[in-house]
Every structure is written in structure tokens, then in C-alpha cells.
Structure 1
Amino acid sequence: MSETKTTVFRDLLAATKDGDWGKGESRQGHVPAYVIRGTDFAEVRRGCIAGVPIRYLAEKTVHRRLLRADDILIETAGGSRDRPTGRTVLISQEILDAFPGDVTCASFARFLRVDPVAASPRYVYWYLQYLYARGDMWTHQVQHTGVARFQFTRFAGTEEVPLPVRAEQDAIAAVLGALDDKIAVNERIATTADSMCDLIFQSRAQQHASVPMSRLLHPILGGTPDRKNESYWGGSVPWASAKDVVNATVGVLASTEEHITETATQNSRAKTLRPGSVVLTARGTVGAVARMVMPAAINQSCYAFEPGRMPAAVLFHMVRSAAKSMLGMAHGTVFSTVNMKTFDHVEIPNLPADVLNTLNGELASLHQLIVSHLQESRQLATLRDTLLPQLMSGRLRVKDAEKIAEEAT
């Protein structure tokens, strides 16, 4: 970067304040507001706000925490063994406009309002993304109890932010933001197509009688290869956990955190399932459903259903529809679970062969549209994440990055 100066992070802020979780029910002296949690960051970044809860905050103080366009939310508690606190999300005007009411953040986060005279708020957001991707946030995390916390005061007082000239700040933010915007558009198209599929399926399904799920589908329980056997791990076979299924975008399982070897599939219950198989989470977060677009194995927290007489596209919506009924009869008290007996009690429509084939043709074309848009989004995300450190370190000129991004979008 040319003509770069550095500024301590806290000197870039016009305001910052912790969030508020508020109350779960309406009461006197409290007003409703949408409260963004750390767990909502990824969805909100994509423009999906359906999961953001409404809470009730004290009327006297809520105005201090209401979000404005270009505010940045930073996660200050949470994290995990593999993921530090310090994730961020930019609150654009488009995101605010999507909410029908006031918006704030939860108590395990805080908002950062960058002084636009001191720096470009969007550039600062991307710099925070850069720090997180580089692993710098680990140095500001502390864990005295079960909850990991981000030491924001320490971070704000010690982190020095490189600031190129304002035009370059804006250009860097524009390049990276354009890629993010295209990713969000792709995923909104995919979500709309997915909703259309559900409507098409329901309109056909309600015309036919239902039978127990176990009469039409064969559940396959997954497994975990021996962790002590190194020859079972790090291979080429994707191995899906409930977490992978829950995190699948628009119900499309295209990647997994862990992989196993062919040897592991031959010597454990983690058998390779063919593309088009549908996975249902049975423990922990019960009832999440995703369809595989590649061969993969699953662990014992999931059941799978392979396409056969019931073709793949119909199978996905059949299992997803059944999952909604399944949640009402899941067994267990602390962690609800689904077991083999559950499939004897959940009913699904018994569609004739001609209806299955016709319906599958309608759904499959939309499924392919969904997959193609999500595949492009993954490619754009990889490009964005590659450009980010290059731009922030000055190793790549903005003009070159602009050309690369323009060709990609």
C-alpha cells in the first residue's frame, strides 16, 4: 500500500457498545427489537434474517444500541476449540431495510461505529476479516470459565490498523464487497428456488394417501471409524457429521470438515453413500436435512436414505417434509433423538411411479439451478479470501484485483 499510515483501532471509533439480550416476552417499559447473535452472523452476512429472534429491551436505553448502516458487529464471547471469538459482520443499509423493526446485537457481541472521517467503515470491516482469517484474534482471547471471551479493550488499545489513502481504502472495500454481494445474490436465488421446490412437492404430495416412512424408505445409520487408527483418517472420502448437515447451505451438502479413507469405509459402519443420498440428523440438532452432491459417508448422529425407487430430488423433499413431523415425536429429554422406531410412526405420501418420475423432473431442474449458483458462490468466496490478504498486505495492486474480480463476476 502506498502512503500508508497506522492508527490505533480505538481511535477509529465514533462509538461502540455491548449488545443486550433483553427479555423473551413483552413487558411494561420494554420495546421489541431484532437481536443479532453471533450464531446469526453467517446468515445475516448473506442477507438471510429469518433466524434472527425478536427480544424486548428496556425502552429507556434501547436507543443507545440500535444499529445504523455500516456498523460492524464483533463477537465478544463464544468461540470453540477450533474457532476463536472475534468474528465480525457488516450491517449494510440493505440488511437493515430487510428487518421490519429496530435491530441491535446480543450481549455476547458489541457494535463498532467507525468514524467515517477517520477511515472507511467498510475498509475497517475487511481489515477485521483479514485479522480473523490470519488467526490474530486468538491472541486476544481468554477463557477463565466455560465461555471464551474476546478482550476487546485490549484489542482496541493495541491493534494498529494500516490506513492507505482514502481512495484506496474505498477501492479495496469495493472489490471485496462486490464479491460478497454476488455471493449473497446467488444464495438468495438458491433459497428462492428451494422454496419453489417445497411448494411444488407439497402441492403433489397432499393429493395422495400417506403410509409409515419405514414402508417406503430404508434408513442407514452411519458410524465413526476408530480415531486411534491413523490409516482411517485424512483420506479422500468426505465424512459428514450432524454439524456439516446443519451448516449445509440451502440443504446442499457439498463439503465436510473431516475425511476418511477407503479402508475406513470397509472396516466400519461409515459406508460411502452415492450422490443424491439424503441425510437426516438424529441427535443434537434433530431434524436437519441435506442432500449429498458427492459420494460421502456419515457418522452415527445421522441417518441416510439412498435414492432408488424414489428418485433423488423427490427423496430430499420427502425426508425434509417428514422431518417436520418427526420433531414432534423425537425421543429423549436432554437431547432429543430420532431412532429406527421413529420411522414407523412418521408418515409420508405414497406416490405412484408415474407421479414420482414427473415430480422428480420438475424438482431436479430447480435442484441443478440451486447447485450451480452455490458452486459459483464457493468459487467467489475462495477468490475473495485469496484477494483479502493480498490487498491488505499491499502485495496486490487494487487495479489488478479489480480486474480479477470483474472477470469473475
Structure 2
Amino acid sequence: MSEQLTIAQLVQRGALSFGDGYRTKKSEHGQPGIPILRVAEVHNGYIRPEFIDYVSASFRSAMGGKVSRAGDIVLTTKGTVGRAAIIPEDAPEFVYSPQVCYFRVSKEGPLTRKYLYYWFKSSEFWDQAGSRKSQTDMADYLNMADIRSLKLTVPSCGEQEAIAAVLGALDDKIAVNERIAATARQLGLALFIQASLADDPVQAAVESVSSVLSRGIAPKYSEHPEDLVVLNQKCIRDGRVSLDPARRTLPEKVKDPKLLRRNDVLVNSTGVGTLGRVARWTSENAATVDSHITIVRFDEAHVDPVCAGFALLRAQPEIEEMGEGSTGQTELRRAQLGGLEITLPSRTRQQQLRPKLDALEEQADQALAESLTLAALRDTLLPQLMYGRLRVKDAEKIVEDHA
């Protein structure tokens, strides 16, 4: 039998505790210390720490419960609202920033950790969060009073565990696909490096072997689903492009050189923390990029574009160090990127290597495409299961058919 309970009621019952992050002062920053987990490091379903700021260890006692524990559920509550993840067992200790809220589920019930995590992905959460969100000139946010008032459907613990198991099976398959994609990319880079270290390597400046080396557009954004996809810096991570943070723009004024072509390389070119990230565009779909990203289109008359793309992937650590400017305003100038010397195999070896790289990239793309399908299925099943419109056994059968 399900019941409707607010977060505040769950806290009163001792089923849950929660809080916002630690509001640090500049005087408290320093190392050795505890790193601060920011909104940008919380993704949907996982944490990717890229720590910039630390709270001095001498303030450890003042942080209290705002220091992470394995099993905490974190929810971003300002800027990008609604990203949720569970802190894994092997995560380092860190302190939550004020833009992150943490939840700790009691072992006594009536709530299970995985169920609450999936609830943060449900339409029941998003409908309430959307109506409560406040807005400043800077960002959307949920305050603590908003969170206390959120009401969730709470079935029996057994039913919660069964629902989480069905959804978790899809997430497990998605994780396997992500490992397949990561392994394929690692193998491709290893093959590329091996070929580059063989006889007759070629040194070339990026600009000398490119037909296009240009920043993207200043987009006029559109909400129409048929308009042109425009990528931003958040779309580029781990050498690949994610369309989740992408937006739409009016296509009429986008000139042909700035319409992406397969095997273009995209380089984040502004800002601390994102500057220098490199990704290959492997899609045939119509898209462009905003002005914070540089498009590198290699000239096939001079170089194999796939091999050259791998050369830039390999050079990412060097590119990340090339930015110039004041804190928060760092820029990667076109001339800097154009003058970067990359090492390539000989043209003969490039021709031999290209089919192997293409095969590995295709394997990765197929795995990631399957993950998108599985994620869509998970998000479809989630509200049906939580509202009791679909039996767990029926959902299990659907998952089996797609696994």
C-alpha cells in the first residue's frame, strides 16, 4: 500500500536526513584540505570530481555533516537544478558546496536509498520542483523550504526494492556500454600512438593541415524541436559529444563552414575547467557550435581526418595549458590552436590505421546509441512503476526484451 509523504514528514519519522552544503569563507580555503564538490561535478547518475577549491583541514569540525559519506544522494539545487547521484563507496571525502543538497536514508525504512534516487528522476519530482523553483538574475534554485515540501509516493520497501532493481538493470547495461565505448577509445589511442612512434612520423601545425579553423556562432536560441542543434561547452567531455546539454538555434544565418561535418574536431576555447577539452564529431546529423567552441576541419588532401582527430585527442593535456587571460576569462586563441604542432604517422600508416580506428569508433557509437535507447526506456518505465500503473513483473519482461 503506497502513501504520500513529504520530505519533512520522512525526516520527522527518522527515515531521512538532509541538508545543504557548507558556505565557506575565503579565509577557510587552503591545502592540505577537503575538496569542495560543485554543481558542475554532479552529473545524472554519477560524480566526476574535478576539484578546484579546498577547505582547509583545520575547519573539519565546523563542517559537521556537510562532509560526504558513501551512499549519500546528492541533488543539485542551484544553477542546474535536479541532477542526482549516489556517492559511491570508493569516492574520496569532500565537502558539499551550498548549491548541492545531500540526503541520507535511514536503514529502518520506510524509504530505500535507490528508490529515492530514482524518484529524483521522476515526473512526480520534476512537476513539483518546476512549480517551486525560484529564479534570480543568475540562476534557478530550490531552497530548503521547497525541498521539505516535496511530496513523494512511498510504496512498501519490498516494492521500492523491486522497482529499483528493474530500473537498475537498465542502468547496469548503460554502464556496460559506457565501458565498451571508453575501452574502444583507449584502444584507438593506443594504436594511434604506436603508429606515431614508428618510422617516418609527420610533424604538422594544425592550421597547415586544416581547411576550417574557426569559432562557432553567436546563436539566437529557439525552442522549436526542428531547429538546428547548437552545441556548447558542456556538450564536450571525455573526447565525445553529448547532446543532452545542447540547445536549438535558428538555422537561416548559419554559414556552411560552421555546419558540422563528420570527423570535425571540436575544442572548447573559453573558461576555466572546460577550456581545452577535445571531442570528435562522428554524426551525420545537422548541428553547429556556439562561439565558445572552435571547429577544426582537417583537409583530406593533406592528412587523414580521423588520424588527425586522434592526434588532437592525444594533445588535449597540452591544449588545456594554452589558455591566456585573467581568472574566469581564459581564452584559447585561434592562432594558438592553429600553431599547435601535432605528431602523425606517415601517410602510408595513416591509410593503414584509418579502417581500424573507424571500426573502433563505430563500436563505441553503437554502444552509446543503445544506451540512449535504454535510458529512454528507463525514463518511460519509471513513472509507470512508481504510480503503480505497471506491475514490476511486466516491467521485468519489457527490460528482458531490450537487454
Q: TM-score range by the shorter chain?
A: 0.7 to 0.9
Please list the CA deviations of residues 96-119 of structure 1 after superposition, one character each: whole Å capped at 9, or x if unmatched: 22x3x4344333212211223221
SS at match of 1:341: helix
Please list the CA deviations of residues 302-346 of structure 1 after superposition, one character each: whole Å capped at 9, or x if unmatched: 332335243343122122234433343334445333344224531
Amino acid at match of 2:18: T
- For residues 99-178 of structure 1, what are the structure 2 equivalents within 5 Å? 99=91, 101-116=92-107, 117-131=109-123, 134-144=126-136, 146-156=138-148, 158-178=149-169
Please list the CA deviations of residues 267-299 of structure 1 after superposition, one character each: whole Å capped at 9, or x if unmatched: x35643332222223334432222222233334
State the match for 1:289 in structure 2.
278
Change over 3 Å in CA distance of 1:52–1:395 after alignment to 2: farther
State the match for 1:194 in structure 2.
185
SS at match of 1:349: strand
SS at match of 2:309: helix
Change over 3 Å in CA distance of 1:129–1:254 after alignment to 2: closer
- For residues 58-137 of structure 1, what are the structure 2 equivalents within 5 Å? 58-61=59-62, 64-79=65-80, 85-91=81-87, 95-97=88-90, 99=91, 101-116=92-107, 117-131=109-123, 134-137=126-129
Task: Give the Cα–Cα distance (whole angstroms) in 2 for the partners of residues 297 and 144 of structure 1.
Answer: 29
Asked whether the 8 Å contact 2:239–2:313 carries over to 1, the reply is no
Match of 1:215 among 208, 215, 224: 208
Aligned-pair CA distance for 1:366? 2.1
Flag structure 2 segments of 5+ consecutive residues without an equivalent.
Answer: none
Asked whether the 8 Å contact 2:197–2:345 carries over to 1, the reply is no
Task: Give the Cα–Cα distance (whole angstroms) in 2 for the partners of residues 37 and 50 of structure 1.
Answer: 8
Asked whether the 8 Å contact 1:251–1:291 carries over to 2, the reply is yes
Amino acid at match of 2:50: G
Task: Give the Cα–Cα distance (whole angstroms) in 1 for the partners of residues 249 and 257 of structure 2.
Answer: 9
User: Does 1:365 find its partner at 2:359?
Assistant: yes
Amino acid at match of 2:83: R
Change over 3 Å in CA distance of 1:278–1:154 after alignment to 2: closer
Asked whether the 8 Å contact 2:220–2:250 carries over to 1, the reply is no
Farther off after superposition, 14-23 or 69-78: 14-23
Asked whether the 8 Å contact 2:268–2:292 carries over to 1, the reply is yes
State the match for 1:25 in structure 2.
30
- For residues 229-268 of structure 1, what are the structure 2 equivalents within 5 Å? 235=226, 237-244=228-235, 246=236, 248=237, 250-252=239-241, 257-259=246-248, 264-265=253-254, 268=255
Farther off after superposition, 114-123 or 324-333: 324-333
Q: What TM-score do you get using the length of structure 2 for normalisation?
A: 0.82
Aligned-pair CA distance for 1:251? 1.3
Task: Give the Cα–Cα distance (whole angstroms) in 1 for the partners of residues 48 and 394 of structure 2.
Answer: 34
State the match for 1:337 in structure 2.
331
Change over 3 Å in CA distance of 1:52–1:327 after alignment to 2: closer
Task: Give the Cα–Cα distance (whole angstroms) in 1 for the partners of residues 21 and 203 of structure 2.
Answer: 48
Task: Give the Cα–Cα distance (whole angstroms) in 1 for the partners of residues 128 and 313 of structure 2.
Answer: 40
Change over 3 Å in CA distance of 1:21–1:197 after alignment to 2: farther
Q: What TM-score do you get using the length of structure 1 for normalisation?
A: 0.80
Asked whether the 8 Å contact 1:270–1:299 carries over to 2, the reply is no
Task: Give the Cα–Cα distance (whole angstroms) in 2 for the partners of residues 188 and 243 of structure 1.
Answer: 21
User: Does 1:41 find its partner at 2:48?
Assistant: no
SS at match of 1:178: helix
Farther off after superposition, 358-367 or 347-356: 358-367
User: Does 1:380 find its partner at 2:374?
Assistant: yes
Change over 3 Å in CA distance of 1:104–1:278 after alignment to 2: same
Asked whether the 8 Å contact 1:235–1:261 carries over to 2, the reply is no
Match of 1:277 among 260, 264, 269: 264
Aligned-pair CA distance for 1:180? 1.6
What is the RMSD computed on CA atoms of the aligned residues? Answer: 3.3
Task: Give the Cα–Cα distance (whole angstroms) in 1 for the partners of residues 371 and 340 of structure 2.
Answer: 36
SS at match of 1:129: coil
Aligned-pair CA distance for 1:11? 2.8
Task: Give the Cα–Cα distance (whole angstroms) in 2 for the partners of residues 218 and 341 of structure 1.
Answer: 14
Amino acid at match of 1:302: I
Change over 3 Å in CA distance of 1:172–1:298 after alignment to 2: same
State the match for 1:82 in structure 2.
none
Task: Give the Cα–Cα distance (whole angstroms) in 2 for the partners of residues 282 and 243 of structure 1.
Answer: 12
Aligned-pair CA distance for 1:181? 2.1
Task: Give the Cα–Cα distance (whole angstroms) in 2 for the partners of residues 263 and 402 of structure 1.
Answer: 46
SS at match of 2:295: strand
Aligned-pair CA distance for 1:63? 5.9
Task: Give the Cα–Cα distance (whole angstroms) in 2 for the partners of residues 19 and 114 of structure 1.
Answer: 17
Match of 1:389 among 363, 383, 387: 383
Asked whether the 8 Å contact 1:76–1:152 carries over to 2, the reply is no
Flag structure 1 segments of 5+ consecutive residues without an equivalent.
Answer: 80-84
